[in-house]
Structures are given as C-alpha cells and as structure tokens.
Structure 1
Amino acid sequence: MNKIVLLIPYYNNSIGLIKSLNSIDASEELDIIIVDDGSKNKFDEVILRKNFKAKGTLYFEYFKKNQGIEFALNHGLKISLEKGYKYTARLDCGDVCLGKRFAIQAAFLDQNTEVKIVGSNVLAVDNNDNYLYSINLPLNDKEIKNKMYFNSMLIHPAILFTTSIINAIGFYSTNHKSAEDFAFFFAISKKFKMANIEQYLTQIEINDKGISIQKRRQQVKARIQIIKENFYFGYYPIYGLIRNYILLIMPYTIILAIKKRVKNERFS
C-alpha cells in the first residue's frame, strides 16, 4: 500500500475519468479510490486499469443510487482512514495532473509538518482543452485564511492533505450543497495550517454542464451561509459578504468573460 490515496468521485463521465487517470505521471506512487455515485453511464474497470500507469492500485466503490458528491467523498474518506493512508488527494473527472504533482505535494507536507493541507496554482481550460485563464492563489497560511472569506483559496481538485485531520474536523458537510469543499476548508482552517504551492500542478476543466456552473446560484448562496457561520466584524468577512452578494446577482457569462480577458485570476 502506498502512503497517498487519490479520491475521485464519479458520475456519468467515463471519458473524463480516463483523461484524468492518463494524466498521472507513471513515476507517481499512489492508490486511487473511485466512488461511483449511482451512475447510469458506467465505466469499464479493465479499461481504467489500462489507462492508469502509476505505481499503485485502483479501488472501486459503487452506490446503488445517486446520493450527491458530498456522500461519495465521505465514503471515500472513511476508506482512506480505515486503510491508514498518510495523505489523501483529490481530483475530479476531466481534470488533469501536471508533472509529478503528488510527489511534490507530499514532499512539501513531509518538509513542513505544521501544514496539514496543501493545494497549488491551477490552469483552467474549456471542454476542448483551450486555455482560459490561470488561478494564482495565496501561498501562506495567514493570507489563505483571511481571503477564504472572499472565495475558496484552495482549489478542491488540486489538494492533498494529512488524512488523520478527519479525526479532528469530521467529514464533508452534507448541509451545504455545491459548497461542501468550502465548508470543509473552513473547518480545517480553524485547527490547522494551510498552504499552496506556486507551481501549476493541476489543470481544471470549465464545463458548462458541470455542477459548479449548473448550480452556481446554489453554490454562491451556500458560500454566503458559510461565511456568515464563520463571521466576525472585520474587513475580510464584510468585504467577502459584499463580494459574494454581487456574484449572486451577476450572470456567470459576464464573470467568465472577465476571467478570459484578464487571463490571470489573482485573489487580492
């Protein structure tokens, strides 16, 4: 068994899943847990194993009916804890690993033991892998925690964290639909140090059929609720609430057009 396990929730996207597995560098040492959230479009385990070149084992879990990504993630996390993996990473179907992502992130946590979760800067592309924009995130713990009130300062498919922190913070919230990752990161921020690596280690696909766009209003509303739950009277929470209320009423087409034009999304 490796010390790293990669958790991939799956729902009706076999092409994206193959693409993601293909992107993992052959030198990487990690196992993968794929949780099928009651899909109708099933994947072929044999084909997936052929497309996984890294040094590790694929594990498959199946829900009989669709329950939602937060339940799929929590199921995978329970297995990660039970098997005793030191680190748990995340990736979504269609997203791509760049370089030796997992080795780099694990080495960072090994060398910075006070940090328990690490992400990275990210490249965003469209459905045809055309570059859209870059996401450049704060790197240090203090800046990440302050700017979490604006938006998530960790990109969910780009993270790797120490599995044992689940014993202290619990699992993904099932009460914040489409923003379970934001709630999860806030919970971690209350007890542990966080960081991002400046390198671009993950490429995410901006899919107009993806959950983050289809359920964007629900996601922003949930984010506002999470900010309120963690609110204090200060610049970052107040500005963050105002910013998210503006995003709630602004059409996503305008937001995406701005990001494409700027080409470099910085959180300032």
Structure 2
Amino acid sequence: MNALDDVAILIPAFNGQGEVERTLASFREDAPVRVLIVDDGSTPPIVAPPIPGLDIDVLRLAANGGIERALAAGIDALAQRGIRYAARIDAGDLATPARLAKQRAYLEAHPRVAALGMWAHVVSTEGAPLFDLTPPADPAAIRRVMLMRTCFAHPSMMLRVEPVLDAGNYRARYRAAEDLDLFLRLMQRHDCANLPEFGLYYELNETGISATKRRTQILSTLRLQLRYFRAGNLPDWIGVAKNLAHLVLPYRALRRLKTRALSRTPSP
C-alpha cells in the first residue's frame, strides 16, 4: 500500500469542467492519489481528465440536488470503496504541495481528530491575493469559538470517513451550512483541528454559495448557533450578534470590510 492509498480527493461539481481540471491539476504529492468527482447533474456531464498521478472516478447524479446531497453521496461511495480519509476541495480552489500527505500524517498521529483543516490564502477569481484565513489550530480553542467565527476552510478539510458516517453524514437540513452542521455533530464525540500551515488557495467567487445563497446560509447558521448555544460562553453571544448583523449588511460591504481588516500579502 502506498502512503496515500486510503485517501481520496472528494470534489463535487455542477458544470465547470475547466475549473475541475485546474483544481485537480494543482495537487502535488509523492504518491498516486484517488479522486472521486461527484457530478451533480452537470450538462454536459463532467469528464474525468487524464492527470498524471491521479486515479479519477466520476459518480454521476441523475439531477442537480445541491452540494449537501452530492457530498453525502460522495462519502457513501468512498466508504463502499474502503477509503478511510476524504480530502475535500471545490472546483476553482488550488491545493499546496504535499497537502494530503501532511494531513494524513497528522490524523494518523492524532486518532481523536475526526476532521482536519488547514489555513487558506483567499484569492480573487483572477488569482489576486485578498486575505488569509488562519483560524485556531487546537481543538479546545476551536470548541470555544466555534459559534463565533469560521473555524474551518471547508475545501481544505480531510475527514475520517467512518466518523462522518457515524455522525449522520452530510445532510440538507441546514442548507448552505452543511459543513458547520457536520463539524458540530462530529465534535459531540471527536475532536476537530487545523494544521497551522497553508494548504489551500481559496477562490472567492461571487457566483459561489456564500454569495448566491447568502441569506439561506446566514439563517441556517443562526439555527445551528441557537441549537448549540452555550449561555455561559461569551463567544457564542458574539457569534449570534455577528450573524444577525450579516442579515442587514450587504454582501459586498461585508466583503470589503473583511478584505480591509485581513488584507496582507500572502507568503509564497
């Protein structure tokens, strides 16, 4: 067995053949890697590109059902293939070299951690640097602020497949906040952490979920915040207040504020 034989890249896609190819071509690992593209009803269908070092399979869904159902179907398919670790990324994002090997090594050394993210450089659709996401790394720190701020860059995550299934997999109950829903459920029995290294170039796209389904995402997040709310934890109060403010402020104004607050030239 090679060092990444129990790892598979999981990438959902709805159209965007070129973005899928660019994203997958960004992976640089010292061992072959499996890939599962979940084609969420694309027209024309997504085709597996011939990329050296990647063994790519496509799971075609009959109709577009949304990222929540696509990810759930992908996790189920990987479990059936005997894959232990699912490495998330989205079309348009780029991976840094050896990301998968680093994450797998960490998870092998930390069996209590069910989901591991990495820091992310946020870039425009043209690749221009905007700001960096450097959330807490330690599970205890993440638990404290998990309802106040975004603690994980979802496309940077490596997930243990078995705990994800045990927690109920991805689900559509909290539309556009399926990642937070999953992580909060995982943290009922496991730890979640971040590897404090940059593993992703995250494309901030105004046609993405965070922009086009913004109100749905805010309301889903608010429902999760209220469900897991801890009255004695000040960051939970701050998180609810921030989310209510997001309902009022326009997306582009928030993006400008965040870019100004976090903007800096990313390290190479």
TM-score tier by shorter-chain length is over 0.9
- In the aligned structure 1, how far is the partner of 2:77 from the partner of 2:47? 22
Structure 1 residues 215-254: aligned runs within 5 Å: 215-234=213-232, 235-254=234-253
- 3-state SS of 2:86 partner: strand
**1:155 aligned onto 2:153:** yes
Structure 1 residues 109-128: aligned runs within 5 Å: 109-128=107-126
The 8 Å contact of residues 136 and 264 in structure 1, kept in 2 or not, is answered as no
2:21 pairs with 10, 13, 18, which one?
18
Q: TM-score, normalised by structure 2?
A: 0.93
Any stretches of 5+ residues in structure 2 without a counterpart?
none
- In the aligned structure 1, how far is the partner of 2:6 from the partner of 2:193? 20
Q: 1:28 to 1:137 in 2, by over 3 A?
A: farther
- In the aligned structure 2, how far is the partner of 1:192 from the partner of 1:208? 34
Deviation of 1:264 (Å): 4.7
Aligned to 2:162: 164
Q: TM-score, normalised by structure 1?
A: 0.93
What letter corresponds to residue 108 of structure 1 in structure 2?
A: Y
**1:164-188 deviations in Å (ceiling 9; x for gaps):** 1024211112111111111011111
Aligned to 1:179: 177
- In the aligned structure 1, how far is the partner of 2:202 from the partner of 2:74? 21
- In the aligned structure 1, how far is the partner of 2:31 from the partner of 2:211? 32
**1:132-185 deviations in Å (ceiling 9; x for gaps):** 110011010011112110133111100002111024211112111111111011
Deviation of 1:64 (Å): 1.7
Aligned to 1:7: 10
The 8 Å contact of residues 29 and 100 in structure 2, kept in 1 or not, is answered as no
- In the aligned structure 2, how far is the partner of 1:237 from the partner of 1:59? 41
Deviation of 1:260 (Å): 2.0
What letter corresponds to residue 68 of structure 1 in structure 2?
A: G
- In the aligned structure 2, how far is the partner of 1:57 from the partner of 1:37? 20
The 8 Å contact of residues 13 and 41 in structure 1, kept in 2 or not, is answered as no
Aligned to 2:34: 31
Aligned to 2:93: 95
The 8 Å contact of residues 9 and 89 in structure 2, kept in 1 or not, is answered as yes
- 3-state SS of 1:57 partner: strand
- 3-state SS of 2:36 partner: strand
What letter corresponds to residue 89 of structure 1 in structure 2?
A: A
What letter corresponds to residue 210 of structure 1 in structure 2?
A: G
Deviation of 1:87 (Å): 0.9
- In the aligned structure 1, how far is the partner of 2:32 from the partner of 2:114? 20
1:202 pairs with 200, 209, 217, which one?
200
Q: Structure 1 vs Structure 2: percent identity of aligned residues?
A: 26
Any stretches of 5+ residues in structure 1 without a counterpart?
none
Deviation of 1:26 (Å): 4.6
- In the aligned structure 1, how far is the partner of 2:125 from the partner of 2:112? 38
Aligned to 1:135: 133
Aligned to 1:188: 186
The 8 Å contact of residues 26 and 53 in structure 1, kept in 2 or not, is answered as no
- In the aligned structure 1, how far is the partner of 2:110 from the partner of 2:220? 32
The 8 Å contact of residues 34 and 61 in structure 1, kept in 2 or not, is answered as yes
